Amino acid sequence: MATQKEAVEFLLAKLRQPKRFSARAMFGEYALYADGKVVALVCDNLLYVKILPVSEELEPLCEKGDPYPGARPHYIVEEAQLSTLQTLPKILCAIAKSLPEKKKRTVRNRLPKRAPQ
């Protein structure tokens, strides 16, 4: 079942920091970005948060599951937890901070073809 756009809008409203968080549609599901880095996925209307040392606070609170077949396990944050888990924005920002910076693409300058001698 594909994630409904309303579920993503609800999630972004709960995070209350529109400049730091955004979502992007991907194959019927969504990627959740914090400070421009993917920190979670929204699949089947559930929030799947990356499991990293900075997100271990979610360990006793959330179940683990795969957002799609073949994916690494993630913490599953259910809709009811979005209202009670006050530290979620802080955790998501910490995940973003712990991830490596995007690699900058280098533009290759092509050398002009040499004239035959």
Instruction: Return the pLDDT at 53.
Output: 94
Instruction: Return the pLDDT at 18.
Output: 73
Residue 104 lies in a domain: no
Angle, CA 12 vertex, CA 31 and CA 48 arms, to 5°: 40
Residue 21 lies in a domain: yes
Q: What pTM does this model have?
A: 0.82
Extract the residue ranges of the chain whose pLDDT is less than 70.
Answer: 1, 111-113, 115-117
Residue 110 lies in a domain: no
Residue 106 lies in a domain: no
pLDDT digit string (tens) for 62-77?
999 999 899 999 999 9
Angle, CA 77 vertex, CA 74 and CA 80 arms, to 5°: 170
Q: Phi, psi at residue 50, to the nearest 5°?
A: -60, 140
The domain total for the chain is: 1
Q: Which single residue is written with the structure tokens 């209350």?
A: 16
Residue 39 lies in a domain: yes
Q: Which secondary structure element, helix H or strand E, spans residue 6, and what is its range?
A: helix 5-15
Residue 25 lies in a domain: yes
Domain that holds residue 43: 5-98
Q: What is the CATH number of the domain that holds 50?
A: 3.30.1460
Dihedral sign of CA atoms 40, 43, 45, 51 in order: negative
Residue 115 lies in a domain: no
Instruction: Return the pLDDT at 42.
Output: 94
Residue 91 lies in a domain: yes
Residue/partner pairs of 68-76 with CB below 8 Å, 24 or more apart = 68/29, 68/43, 74/40, 74/41, 74/48, 74/49, 74/50, 75/48, 75/49, 75/50, 75/51, 76/46, 76/47, 76/48, 76/49
